[in-house]
Structure 1
Amino acid sequence: MGIETVVLLLEQSCLDDLLALTWDELYNGMEKGKFRQSRPQSDERLNRLFDIDCEAEILDWMDSVESEPSVNVKSSLQNINNGSEGLLKLMEWASPGQWTSWEARTYLYLDVALKREIANRDDLYSHSTWSQMIESLAGIPEEEFSQNVCLDWMDRRKELGETLDEAKDPKIIPTYEAHDRTSRLLVHTISRWNKEDGLTGIVGREHMDANKWGHGEFNIRNILNS
């Protein structure tokens, strides 16, 4: 399994409500499942941790650090060395779901969407690249984009002299289906990010420093410094 690119949809109001709580209120609420009704409705097409698993991750992280019980959560995170990790976990709670893709495949999807070659990892995760993605995928049907991706993938295989005969390579069909499914979900995710008020996308990757997740005012470091 490769490293995964993630686009986490974030409901801003839900996160703001969590950050306004005291440390003790957040801990007790997560421990007793009090916030489940106010968590964003899960997007059934995207990935998301179950409530109980997300609560457990937040509580485990809170147990690993120290903070004054009566101090609000945002101030507490600002004063904790790895507060960005805690904020990312709260973002996961305040999310209806996330799009994930192997990073190597994400290059393909962005190449096709932007009609240019993504130069490197910095380009792949840059603010400007994802701003262009929102513009490029606005209004495009999922089926059209998935067809473009799959055709591009097949052309690349041909250029490399690789077979497209499923009898010779049993991975052809599963890989095609994965590209079709993941590219459709990318359009779905970008569409929600682009159209829904109060919903934004937080772009990151597995094992990336939490401070680097998100762009502009929704970059985790910037949120903690605001």
Structure 2
Amino acid sequence: MAIEMQLHLVSISRVEELVAMPWVEVLLSMEKTHLRNIRPAIDSELLRGFDIDNEAEILDWADKQKLSDTTTVFQTIHNSWENGIITLKEACEGLLHFIKWASIGYWKALEGRAYLYLEPLMNVDSLSIQDLYEDEIWQQVRKELPSIVEKEYCEKVVLAWMKMRKEMNETLDEKSDPRILSTMQSHMRLSGQLHHLVSRWLEDDDLRLIIGGEHISFENWTFGNVPFHQIITHGLP
């Protein structure tokens, strides 16, 4: 089964503002769509869920957990976990919904293809699947990628893909495989999006990287280099 990994860029100032608001006030405001004016502007080059969908995720999670507290969003989630009302996994899931609300957008790619986007920047032969979810790797990408212009980087990714297919004795003939052109275009698009995401991350001190994926437990998504389970216990980094 194909598994996707995700990189989200979130506004730390908006995260801090949101989770410091009273729990009940946030839920009521989201029901009335009154918080959309403080949500970060979407980056049109990246992916992001619709406002109504992100609000529904938060409200559905809150309704399912039936939490009631007069403190802030973060303290409500933390206290509910600490008092055994919800599990650590449930607490991390809820926090992730709120943090995603403060995202300007995200990039996603299949795990099996993600190495292609790293190959122009580092030795991928020594990398494991788990390494793709390590902040250290993406800090290295953040350091190396801006030295390559976007067009050149995209071309390097496509060349890495072509090399991989040749090594696997797979055809590059469009007549033999009609998906060749669309796959190449997909790599061009995804590498361009990744270059853009890293450029935004580098130029804006307010943006933080969240790393996760479909099969990554909510506790092990990371905010910067801090896993969510540590955020629940110790607070935002």
The normalised TM-score by structure 1 is 0.94
Kindly indicate whether the alpha-carbon contact (under 8 Å) linking 1:216 and 1:222 is maintained by their aligned counterparts in 2.
no
Question: Which of 210, 226, 237 is matched with 1:202 structurally?
Answer: 210
Deviation string, structure 1 residues 114-141 (Cα, Å, up to 9, x no partner):
2332531222211221121111112421
Partner Cα distance (1:140, 1:41) in 2: 27
Cα distance between partner residues in 2 of 1:62 and 1:139? 44
Native 8 Å contact 1:8 1:95 kept in 2: yes
Q: For 1:6, what is the secondary structure of its paired residue? A: strand
Compute the RMSD of aligned alpha carbons.
1.5
1:88-127 Cα offsets, whole Å, 9 max, x none, are 1111110110011111111221233223325312222112
Aligned match of 1:53: 53
Distance 1:111 1:118 in 2: 11
Q: Which residue of 2 aligns with 1:70?
A: 70
Distance 1:118 1:181 in 2: 26
In the alignment, structure 1 residue 185 sits paired with structure 2 residue 193? yes
- % of aligned pairs identical? 39
For the pair 1:21 / 2:21, whether they are aligned, the reply is yes
2:125 is paired with a residue whose SS is: coil
Count of residues in Structure 1 that have an aligned counterpart in Structure 2: 226
Contact 1:23 1:72 in 2 (8 A): yes
CA 1:39 to 1:215, structure 2 compared with 1: closer, same or farther past 3 Å? closer
The whole-number CA distance in structure 1 between the counterparts of 2:75 and 2:160 is 48
Contact 2:69 2:76 in 1 (8 A): no
Structure 2 counterpart of 1:7: 7
SS at match of 2:231: helix
Choose the corresponding residue for 1:154, options 162, 165, 181: 162
1:66 Cα deviation after fit: 3.1
Structure 1 residues not aligned, in runs of 5+? none
- The one-letter amino acid of 2:92's match is S
The letter for the 2-side match of 1:15 is V
Aligned with 2:65: secondary structure?
A: coil
Runs of 4 or more consecutive aligned structure 1 residues displaced over 3 Å after TM superposition? 215-219
1:189-225 CA distances to partner (integer Å, 9 max, x unpaired)? 1111122011011111113111211255653223222
Selected match of 1:87 from 57, 82, 95: 95
Amino acid at match of 1:183: S
2:224 & 2:187 partners in 1: Cα distance?
A: 29
Shift of 1:160: 1.8
1:122 is matched with which residue? 130
What's 2:146 paired with?
A: 138
Unaligned stretches of 5+ in structure 2? 82-86
1:112 counterpart residue number = 120
